[in-house]
Amino acid sequence: MQLTLYTDYAFRVLVHLASRGENVVTVQEVANALGVSRNHLVKVVHHLGLMGLLKSVRGKGGGIVLARPADEINMAEVIQLMEKNLDLLECFHNTEYDCKANSACNLRAALRMAQQQFFNTLAQFTLRDLLRQHSHWEELALQQDAEPAALPMVRESIVYFPKRNSLGTM
C-alpha cells in the first residue's frame, strides 16, 4: 500500500496548522511554507473542511484553522478520510474478481489482519505527536524494538497454510 500525494499533502497541511496553534492561516501561506502549489492545496483543504478536520474563517484576516485540537486528530482517521481505496488486493472489494485460488487462499485474511494492525498503530498517534521532537520518535522506536513479547502475539494471528502434496490435496 502506498499513500497518495493527496493524503501526504493533507498531513502536511494539518501538521502545519497544528504547529500554528489557533492562529488562522491562509492557503497561500501554507502553500508557501510547504513549497507546494496553492492550486494543489485548495482541493485538499476543501476536502479536509468537508471531513471536519479544519474550518474556514471568512472575512478580513480569514483563512483556515484546525476544527479540533491537534491531540484529537489521529493519523489513522486522516488516512481513512482522505484515501479513496484502502484495499490491498482486488478481491477485497471486487466480488466479481475470479480468483482461481479463492477456495484455498488465506492471503486476503492475512492482509486484512495486517492492515488492521497498521491502522491500530496509527490510531495511537495524533497530530500533536507529529510535532514532537525527533528524540521522542527515536525513544518510541527503541520501545518497539525492546518489546519482544509483542512478537509472539503477532505470530499467533498468522493464518498458517496446510501443506499440500503433489496432487493438491492435504
- Which one is predicted more confidently, 162 or 8? 8
Cβ(66)–Cβ(14) below 8 Å:
yes
Angle 146-148-79 from CA coordinates, rounded to 5°: 80
Q: What distance in Å separates the CA atoms of residue 52 and residue 92, rounded to the nearest whole number?
A: 28
Single pTM value for the model: 0.71
Q: What distance in Å separates the CA atoms of residue 20 and residue 11, rounded to the nearest whole number?
A: 14
Closest CA to 38 of 25, 50, 27, 22: 27
Closest CA to 10 of 122, 34, 85: 34
Q: What is the number of H-type helices and E-type strands within the chain? A: 8, 2
What domains are defined for the chain?
Answer: 5-156 (1.10.10.10)
Q: Identify the weakest region by mean pLDDT among 18-32, 79-93, 97-111.
A: 97-111
Q: Which three cell numbers stand for residue 147?
A: 518489546
Q: What distance in Å separates the CA atoms of residue 96 and residue 90, rounded to the nearest whole number?
A: 10
pLDDT in tens, 25-77: 999 999 999 999 999 899 999 999 999 999 998 888 889 999 999 999 999 99
